[in-house]
Amino acid sequence: MTGISTKTIYAVAALHELSQVQDDALLKIKEIAARANVPQNFLEQILLELKKQHILVSIKGAHGGYRLAKQLKDITLKDIVMALETDALSEVCRTNNPALKLFWEDIRDGVANVFDIPLSELKSYQQKANDTLNYSI
């Protein structure tokens, strides 16, 4: 079990940008990278992996790009972590001690539950950010 990597953080940023466009609209990697402030080369690898996991759909060609394969409410942070982190939520206890095994299983399950948040929650955080910005002006 590890922390959240830059890869996952960039993936969430890209998915957030893709969620801001109309349902059938496509965004090119260059546009996503610019909007999310993510290095384009690194983003290409991330988007390909998310496509393999059926989180994204890509269309080739001059008018192609990426879009969400399903609604944001049906994509969880756990889906992203499991798609991109090879050892995420893996077994961390390397001992035969039954008490330690139970302890680490509970920790792993707790972390998995925290990651089970749907990415549609980003919209409420966007609203909070907007409210904060409007309040500050």
pLDDT tens, 117-137?
A: 898 888 888 888 888 766 555
In a domain, 91, yes or no: yes
111, with CB counted inside 10 A (0-12, 13-18, 19+), is: middle
Q: Which residue reads 């792993």 in tokens?
A: 108
Q: What residue spans of the chain are helical by DSSP H?
A: 6-19, 29-36, 40-52, 77-84, 98-114, 121-136
Question: Which CATH number is 121's domain given?
Answer: 1.10.10.10
Average pLDDT over residues 39-68: 94
Residue 105: predicted pLDDT: 83
In a domain, 1, yes or no: no
In a domain, 74, yes or no: yes
In a domain, 21, yes or no: yes
Residues of the domain holding 52: 6-136
pLDDT of residue 1 exceeding 70? no
Residue 24: predicted pLDDT: 80
pLDDT of residue 81 exceeding 70? yes
Percent of the chain topping pLDDT 90 = 45
The domain tally of the chain equals 1
Instruction: List, for residues 84-130, the tens digit of each pLDDT value.
Output: 886 666 666 677 888 988 888 888 788 778 888 898 888 888 888 88
